[in-house]
Structure 1
Amino acid sequence: MLASKLKIFFPPTISLRKMATVKRFYRKTNILSNGDRFEITLDQRKLKTPKGNVFEVTSKPLALAVAMEWESQEDTINRSNMHLTALCSTLLDNPHQHSRMDIVNYISNYLETDTVLFQSNDTEELFKLQTEKWDPIIQWFCDKYQVDITKTTSISPPIIPPPTKDILTRHFASYDYPALIGFMYGIDILKSVILMMAVCERLINVQSAISLTRLEEEFQISHWGRVEWSHDLSKNDLQARLSAAVLFIHLNTSSATSKPKMESS
């Protein structure tokens, strides 16, 4: 009798490793509260990460969003479109053993390869488009964070003075580890620190950010034509991934800053 009751409170676990192409095997999803953490269940079975860790998050809205990803699966579990699940699993498993400062330094150094800082003056029309679309975002970034950056129009890298890198390092070091995971994921999608910060600060929306990072590709397509289904699929996938990254940052940052304050004695 006791054993059967324990199954209700400590349900079996389900590992993500075995779910790449399996058919949906559960009827409903749910979340369980475990202190200040929330776990995902498929029917009465707890979800686990690829490394076998219990799948748990500190934000209830994030737990609900992950549960919705699982609920939206149809006949076959398609993990390739479960971006919040992937982000949470990366956070919990830390497969590459990254520390907070590893990610902070990665982001700061990424600025040297930022897409919008590499502009091509080989084609006048493209250069004019890059100047028109990218330069205002670069200027906003410099004004917002009080940094100096000089873009490049050659094979030489852009000029990122040491004080600029120091300012960015301090800025990103102020974030908790979960938010940094989201930033790294979004920056890799956009190939741009500047565009990612513009999205997170709501200067531009997700759709605009994807269009800006694909500016040269879209320019080439306008001249050479497109394969409609292929380009649209790619664009929609990038938008979905970036949306997940921004939501992941927001929900983790909110959960870290919305704790009730202690009353002063």
Structure 2
Amino acid sequence: MSETPVTSAAHRGYVEISKEQVRRFWKDVQVTPDGDRWAVQLDGHTPKTPAKNPLIAPTRAVAQIIAQEWAAQEQIVDATSMPATRLASTAIDHIGSVREAVADEIAAYAGSDAICYLGEGALQRRQIEKWTPWRAWAQQELGIDLRPVIGVLHHAQPQVSLDRVRTLALSLDDFQLTGLATATTLFGSTVLALALLEGALSGEEAFDLSRLESAFQEAQWGVDAEAAERAETMRREAGVLERWFRGLAE
């Protein structure tokens, strides 16, 4: 799914999208209660999302994750180092108006879930060993029955399972749904994303399961430096998603 880019232009108490470099303008970052929610505050002012909504989280733990990103900024704001802020802005500004479409996309990923497509030989044996338990978990815990297939040609999954995924997605609040959609895209797998959401897998475990083929190829042919850097960035994002889901559950 598409994400809202978060780059920052700011003055006291207000942050909006900008492509220009922005200097850190605040000294103090705090989290304060706002009704039954929690607001991030910069020098006593709540920053705004790109759509000019207050940056307010449903739990104190999530607000603290966001606040830590703001506190970690140095002289020049690096928006790429603020993934939780991006997730929150997307949840606040956009998800509420596109929930049905997002649920459809998550279900579509389940229809071609990465952990259902097996390779050959040694790779297939490893995929069967590592992925079979998570397809079984999805069936037993969530009522989602996805069947494996050998090769890359599309294999239709039971519609009742895809409908179940869609129902589960729509049962989530906007912050949970934003995280699930982001994790699904990151892993190429709705099952792994749901396992992360439910706390059955850590972010690192889910990410490693999502790239079994890449790891297999690297073991045989070596690691490309650019690909390794990209993988490390994705691994960090998986860790943020783990903290995001844990924070929402507190």
TM-score (norm 1): 0.80
Are 2:31 and 1:31 equivalent residues in the alignment? Answer: yes
Query: Of the candidates 227, 237, 241, which is equivalent to residue 237 of structure 2?
Result: 241
Q: Match of 1:238, as an amino acid? A: M
Query: Is the 2:12–2:25 Cα contact (8 Å) retained in structure 1?
Result: no
Match of 1:137 in 2: 134
Amino acid at match of 1:99: V
- On the 8 A contact 2:169/2:177 being kept in 1, the answer is yes
**In structure 2, how many angstroms separate the alpha carbons of the residues matched to 1:253 and 1:204?**
15
Aligned residue number for residue 195 of structure 1 = 192
Distance, in Å, in 2 between the alignment partners of 1:57 and 1:93 is 12
Give the superposition deviation at 1:88: 0.6
- TM-score, normalization: structure 2? 0.85
Instruction: Tell me how far 1:187 sits from its aligned partner.
Output: 0.8
Unaligned runs of 5+ residues in structure 2 are 1-10
1:50-129, aligned counterparts within 5 Å? 50-94=50-94, 98-121=97-120, 124-129=121-126
Measure the CA separation in 2 of the matches of 1:162 and 1:246.
29
When residues 114 and 20 of structure 1 are mapped into structure 2, their CA distance, relative to the original with a 3 A threshold, is: farther
CA shift for structure 1 position 110? 1.3
Which of the pair has more CA radius of gyration? 1
Matches of 1:36 and 1:200, distance apart in 2: 23
Cα distance change on mapping 1:13 and 1:25 into 2, 3 Å: closer
2:155 is matched with 158
Inter-CA distance 204–53: structure 2 relative to 1 (3 Å threshold) = closer
Judging changes above 3 Å, is the alpha-carbon distance between structure 1 residues 147 and 93 closer, same or farther for their aligned structure 2 residues?
closer
Aligned-residue Cα RMSD (Å) equals 2.4
Query: What secondary structure is seen at the aligned counterpart in 1 of 2:26?
Result: coil
Find the aligned partners of 2:221 and 2:194 in 1 and give their Cα distance.
32
Deviations 1:48-103 (A, max 9, x none): 11222222223222222211111112232211121110011111221x87432222
1:40–1:147 Cα change, 3 Å: closer
The amino acid across from 1:165 in the alignment is L
Number of residue pairs aligned between Structure 1 and Structure 2: 240
- Which runs of structure 1 show a deviation greater than 6 angstroms over 4 or more consecutive aligned residues? none
* Cα distance, 1:178–1:201 mapped onto 2, change above 3 Å: closer
What residue is the counterpart of 1:252 in the other structure?
A: 248
Residues 77 and 131 of structure 1, relative CA distance in 2, 3 Å threshold: same
% identical equivalent positions:
23
